[in-house]
Structure 1
Amino acid sequence: MTHTSSLELWPIGNCQVSGLIDETGALVWGCVPRVDGDPVFSALLNGEQRDAGIWRFELEGQCSASQRYIRNTPHLLTTLEAKDGSAVEILDFCPRFERSGRMYRPVAYVRIVRPISGTPRIKVVLKPTKNYGAGIADTTHGTNHIRFLTGATSLRLSTDAPVGYIQEGRTFRIEDDTHFFLGPDEPFVGNLREQVRSMEQSTRKYWQNWVRMLAIPLEWQEEVIRCAITLKLCQHEETGAIVAALTTSIPEAAHSERNWDYRYCWIRDSYYTIQALNRLGALDVMEKYLAYLRNIVDGAKGGQIQPLYSVMGESELDETTASYLAGYRGMGPVRRGNAAYKQVQYDCYGQIVLPSVQGFFDQRLLRPATEHDFENLEQVGKMAWAMHDQPDAGLWEFRTRQEVHTYSAVMCWAACDRLANVAHHIGKQDRAQIWRERADAIRGKIEEKAWKENGEGGHYGASFESDYLDASLLQMVELRFLSPDNDRFQQTFAAVEEHLRRGDHMLRYAAEDDFGAPETAFNVCTFWLIEALHLAGRDDEARTLFCTMLSHTTKSGLLSEDLDYETGELWGNFPQTYSLVGVINCAGLLSKSWSEVR
């Protein structure tokens, strides 16, 4: 069976492992024992070779497939129909519920196949790979299970389907609900049918209760809920880290070689994720992430903070190539690791301080911030103060040049500004004065160095050294560096829109970078444009553009990183937290008030 990869994918997960299901109901991407582990389901990046790294159910005579999530959960239902009227329904989920006083979230994928009409016959194709596609996992079996030796770890399939049929690839009639639990290599305890059904019900209840506590806008509720659930799936709950995406090496544009591994915790991306979920009241995600940040700050010992870390806080993420995988649609390379960890990106200091500040003000938190936390944050602030006017790689992570990027300088200002606020709040007026003076000094430097005069006025430049534009300048209002009615912001917004807008979409920058001129729009930048339109009082235009962006989501209601502004095709890693944040933030800004229907 051949099938061309696309980003029409449906995430499942439990904050320990995740998986992506394609339009045929096949599990085509999933890493164990966590998101940055070995992709035992690697078919998404295996070019046209789709019989390795996959788990699918082939319905004899199949003619159609349809999919939907169970309301307010990441539980996926796929219906396969055959020409003779036979049909099956596949329910996919990863267990997550409280058990024995703690969250049960095993390294496990659960699939239940149900006959719903006719006399369906299926074949189970389950071929996990090992060592980044180097080969098919070796197997052994017992009466009701199959063991898959996937390299550093091993998995066990427990099932009430005929094990021999699965091993030999035989087609068989399915006459009753059939259960598949692919998890830790240990005996399955209890009655499989009863236990799996109980897991599904408990997991469904967990997610629906979690959604029930969200403070969502009146309009676009389904879209916001789906993005919120998916953002939560991007958190590795064991440590609190939040990854930028669940995949590696989906190209930013066709044959561009802009293929990067996003299965790591970028301090910047996580800041935006936490900001969006906090607006919805999802404090559980924020609390766990703040614990992760405290560990990162402790590990830095007052020194330089990296742009990204592994979900376990590992600092060295050497970038290599997985040579056995052909890549998305054969467009390699497939990268493992990300050399950006070696870069200096000084915006990260602000992105540590800003979410941490809430701990000093929010009475809902189980662990309020302490004076010791403030002292540690001051060490981060000292680095922001020292580096605010020094060259870095910038938020777009240029690999071959450095400048003093305006966005990084503004984030350093924000770090000092918020530390002044915290110091005042906790009664440390001497420290408040020091941090306010530093914030004011950075503001003065930005106004002097980043503002570029021209014959018709001027605009802020993307860096102190040059006058080119990038979309991050639109964040100067969000960060409270400028007010929306500030004349300099309005001039900058006009310039950014003129130079970077491409129809309904926004480039992050138009200047050539290490790989040439950008070929696709950057989705979060389009959402920043929508926010700026709202701030400028152009709400009708903002709503129209927002609805256009929603029309580009996958059938699962999600977005990747990039979009071809001419064809509308999605590119880049998926699901991209940046982009989902944009949906949540813009829905909150543009929605009618709940009071209008009460």
Structure 2
Amino acid sequence: MQTAIGDYALLSDCRTAALVSKGGSIDWLCVPCFDSRAVFARLLGEGAGHWSIAPSAGFESSRVYLDGSLVVRTSFRTTGGEVAVTDAFATGPNEGGHALGAEAPQVLVRVLQGIRGDVDVEAQFAPRPEYGLVHPLLIPVEGGMRCHGGPHTLGLSSPVPFEVDDCAHARFTVHAGDRLAFALHFVQAGQTPRLRSQGEIEDLLWETIGAWRVWSDQHERYQGMWEDQVHHSGRVLQALTYRPSGAIIAAPTTSLPEAVGGPRNWDYRYAWVRDGSFALNALWVAACPDEAVAFFDWMAQAAAADPRGRQDLQIMFGVRGECDLTERELGHLPGWRGSSPVRIGNDAWRQRQLDVYGELMCSAHRLRSYLPRADTTTLHFLASLVDTACQRWREPDEGIWEVRSGRRHFVYSKLMCWVAAHHGVQLAGLLGAEDRVPVWSRVRDEIRAAIEEHAWNDDVGAYTQAFGSRVLDSSTLMLPLVGFTPADDPRMLSTLRAITEHLTDDRGLVHRYGAMDDGLTGGEGTFLLCTFWLAEALALAGEVDEAERVFERAAAAANDVGLMAEEVAVGSGEALGNFPQAFSHVGLINAAWMISRVKSGEITARSIADGTAFCPD
């Protein structure tokens, strides 16, 4: 059986990422960017490439991220002794703590250390570029080997010689006190990678540990409940940031399923406007404003350059701002535990999702102190978002969950159009749009009236998924979180009860929505972001003790190194979906902040409408 999703740890240089298992195998790596073609893809097919270093006989392993970093140390214990492997994606230096990954050399570092006794170790190096399609030529050279095939030439720096057949492999004994440093380099095809000495590799490792710690010291300003988890989640969001542009990806993987063997397998290696807007708030809480500003600048520029003239604001982009993310299937890969198809690209980029206008305006409102420094093009763009939301809010769309069964009048989409108008009115002076306030105010009131009339269902006793629908949807938990209605309003309290009763599993984790035709076959697990939303809403409703319990249940879904997937399997509790998922870590950060502020008395259900919860100072 393939390695469990939750058995992986994340390595990142803020340009791309690798996943390394508890067994010491790097089973996922795309180079040189998050959305590039994979060199190691055993995650999606046994023969699709890996790089492992582990004892050759039976062992037990444990691991931890080094304090203040995303450098992972895995300890392997055998009957004869113990070794440890420290894995890092070299970030380069971090002068002043504001440019983590800006000078990343794009080198993956693995340092093997003998702790006690003598341990026989086996290393396997089996690169398979193009998602496993290419079996490259492996050439032993002094100090390691070169790998030719596919769009990049790889160089492996190694202190031990490898034998080559179908893959490269080496067996050797590690004694207590030994240190052996390995490094993987990649350059464009036709270039020759420079192999590094043991000392240079060690320097890269210590430089990376130091760079992460400088970033953490400079950026981790959150103080409150679950402080360590919030700070760690902030580092995860930083690791999912593409440094050259500031884009934040949804996850570094593709096609990890929402149910084992099912078809709900999507490519998440892109930047969604929605996800990024939520992440911006989380960065503001867990990190510092300059990170949030960098992302907002990228997001505004990418969205403003939509080639379709903003008839529908594009909902997602490539990390460099690419618009065309056309989806296709990789038929040669069986998928994780047979979950096919494996997809690259994501056709959701073609969808209409009207909520993005409100989410971008939430971002602008949170960064309102920055807006006086923004250029006029950005300010005009933001004002146009409000105009478009006001003009189009009556139209149906595919909604936050990106259904493939046709457009509907989703309540969440209407709500976020209300948010766009609401924040437009609040920011009109900064946007130079005071003359539009009467129209924006009128439309804001019209949307509110429509939601109150058509989103509430007396028979269900809750706000529902769409106008006239009976389907419960956890996105209605956002109604109090954006200030539309107080969480202790009778209708909202009834909605909370309905969601808790009908959308939660035996663990108390929340499903996205009830039974409905979403255009896809198969099921899915519970959704961690939605569970954190429930925790926030409960806190605002005055049920703080229950909010803490819900938070703890969701946070317990993290693996041994604090990483969370998108979903949790009903019954087994196994991690499902792409991994690690930015949305889940965003949910943890925002819920921790909200519960802490409610518990301290800084936030109440009746004060949330002023935007404080979405704009912590």
Do the aligned residues in 1 keep the contact of 2:481 with 2:537 (CA within 8 Å)? Answer: no
Counterpart in the other structure of 2:286: 280
Q: Which deviations, in whole Å up to 9, do the C-alpha atoms of 1:266-298 show, x marking residues without a partner?
A: 111111111111122433331221122122233
> Which amino acid in the other structure matches residue 323 of structure 1?
G
User: Using the alignment, how far apart are the partners of 1:199 and 1:170 within structure 2?
Assistant: 23
Change (3 A) 1:473 1:594: closer
Following superposition of structure 1 onto structure 2, how do residues 102-251 of structure 1 map, counting pairs within 5 Å? 103-163=102-162, 169-174=169-174, 176-185=178-187, 192-212=197-217, 213-251=219-257
What's 2:38 paired with? 39
Question: For each residue in 1:81-115, what CA deviation from the matched residue of structure 2 results, as whole angstroms up to 9, or x when unmatched?
Answer: 22222x22111001113379972113221111112
* Structure 1 residue aligned with 2:343: 335
> CA–CA distance in 2 between the matches of 1:572 and 1:97?
31
Are 1:486 and 2:494 an aligned pair? Answer: no
Paired position in structure 1 for 2:605: none
Given candidates 51, 68, 79, the residue that maps to 1:55 is 51
SS in 2 for 1:71: coil
Partner residue, 1:534: 539
Unpaired stretches in structure 1, ≥5 consecutive residues: none
The equivalent of 1:21 in structure 2 is 20
CA distance in 2, matches of 1:593, 1:493: 17
Residue in structure 1 matched with residue 528 of structure 2 by the alignment: 523
Q: CA 1:140–1:100 in structure 2 vs 1: closer, same or farther (change >3 Å)?
A: farther
Amino acid at match of 1:259: N
When normalised by structure 2's length, the TM-score is: 0.89
One-letter amino acid matched to 2:107: A
2:230, 2:286 within 8 Å by CA — same for their partners in 1? no
Among 434, 443, 448, which residue is 1:443 paired with? 448
Quote the Cα distance in structure 2 between the aligned partners of 1:473 and 1:99. 41
- Provide Cα deviations, 1:287-339, integer angstroms capped at 9, x if missing partner: 22112212223312443212221112211112111122211112222111111
Aligned counterparts, 1:239-278, within 5 A: 239-278=245-284
- Corresponding position of 1:564: 569
Look up the equivalent residue of 1:325 and give its one-letter code.
L
Assess if the C-alpha contact under 8 Å between 2:404 and 2:520 holds in 1.
Answer: no
Instruction: Kindly state the Cα deviation for residue 593 of structure 1 after the two structures are TM-superposed.
Output: 9.9
- C-alpha displacement of 1:552: 2.3
Selected match of 1:497 from 496, 500, 507:
500
User: Does the 8 Å contact 2:397/2:408 carry over to 1?
Assistant: yes
Q: Is the contact made by 2:118 and 2:173 (CA closer than 8 Å) also made in structure 1?
A: yes
Structure 1 window deviating more from structure 2 (432-441 vs 107-116): it is 432-441
Deviation at 1:595, TM superposition (A): 9.2
Task: State how far apart, in whole Å, the 2-side matches of 1:115 and 1:495 are.
Answer: 56
Count of aligned positions: 586
Report the Cα distance in structure 2 between the residues aligned to 1:78 and 1:159, rounded to whole angstroms: 19
Alignment partner of 1:514 out of 519, 522, 530: 519
The answer to whether the 8 Å contact 1:340/1:397 transfers is: yes
Q: Aligned in 2, Cα 1:380/1:594: closer, same or farther, shift over 3 Å?
A: closer
Distance 1:444 1:558, change over 3 A: same
Residue type matched to 1:318 in 2?
Answer: T
Note if contact 1:217-1:593 (Cα within 8 Å) is conserved in structure 2. Answer: no
CA displacement at 1:147 relative to structure 2: 1.8
* Alpha-carbon distance in 1 for matches of 2:495, 2:376: 39
Query: Which amino acid counterpart does residue 400 of structure 1 have in structure 2?
Result: S
Query: Equivalent residue of 1:501, what SS?
Result: coil
CA drift of 1:377 comes to 1.0
Task: Tell me the TM-score normalized by structure 1.
Answer: 0.92
2:333 to 325, 331, 339: 325
**C-alpha deviations, 1:108-132, integer Å up to 9, x for none?**
2111111222233322201111211
Indicate if the aligned counterparts of 2:114 and 2:174 stay in contact, CA closer than 8 A: yes
2:92 corresponds to: 97
Which residue is 1:310 aligned to? 318
Q: What amino acid maps onto 2:465 in structure 1?
A: A
> How far apart, in 1, do the equivalents of 2:289 and 2:497 lie?
36
The one-letter code matched in structure 2 to 1:393 is E
Percent identity, aligned pairs only, is 30
- The answer for the alignment partner of 1:452 in structure 2 is 457
SS in 1 for 2:18: strand
Task: Please report how far the alpha carbon of residue 362 of structure 1 lies from its aligned counterpart in structure 2 after TM superposition.
Answer: 4.2
- Could you tell me how far apart the structure 2 residues matched to 1:497 and 1:323 are? 40
1:25-79 alpha-carbon deviations (Å, 9 max, x no partner):
1111111111111111111111xx3x54111113233422221110110001011
CA distance in 2, matches of 1:358, 1:552: 29
Contact 1:17 1:108 in 2 (8 A): no
What code does the residue aligned with 1:449 have? Answer: H
Q: How far apart are residue 440 of structure 1 and its match?
A: 2.1
Match of 1:296 in 2: 302
Q: CA, structure 1 residues 73+442, in 2 after alignment: closer, same or farther (shift >3 Å)?
A: same
Give the whole-Å Cα distance in 2 for the aligned partners of 1:506 and 1:136: 43
Q: State the alpha-carbon separation in 2 of the partners of residues 342 and 383 from structure 1.
A: 18
Aligned with 1:377 (options 373, 377, 382):
382
Deviation at 1:511, TM superposition (A): 1.6
Deviates most, 469-478 or 576-585:
576-585
Aligned partner of 2:613 in structure 1 is: none
**Other structure's SS at 2:124 match:** strand
Partner of 1:469: 472
The structure-2 alpha-carbon separation of the partners of 1:316 and 1:187, relative to structure 1 and needing over 3 Å to count, comes to closer
Counterpart Cα distance in 2 of 1:6 and 1:464 = 37
Which amino acid letter does the alignment assign opposite residue 95 of structure 1? A
How far 1:248 moved relative to its partner?
Answer: 0.9
CA spacing shift, 1:572–1:532, aligned 2, 3 Å: same
**The residue matched to 1:183 in structure 2 has which SS?**
strand
Distance 1:413 1:362 in 2: 23
Single out whichever of 458-467 and 285-294 deviates more from structure 2: 458-467
Unaligned 5+ segments in structure 2 are 602-617
In structure 2, distance between residues paired with 1:421 and 1:111: 51
Describe the shift of the 1:170–1:204 C-alpha distance in structure 2 as closer, same or farther (beyond 3 A).
Answer: closer
Distance 1:532 1:150, change over 3 A: farther
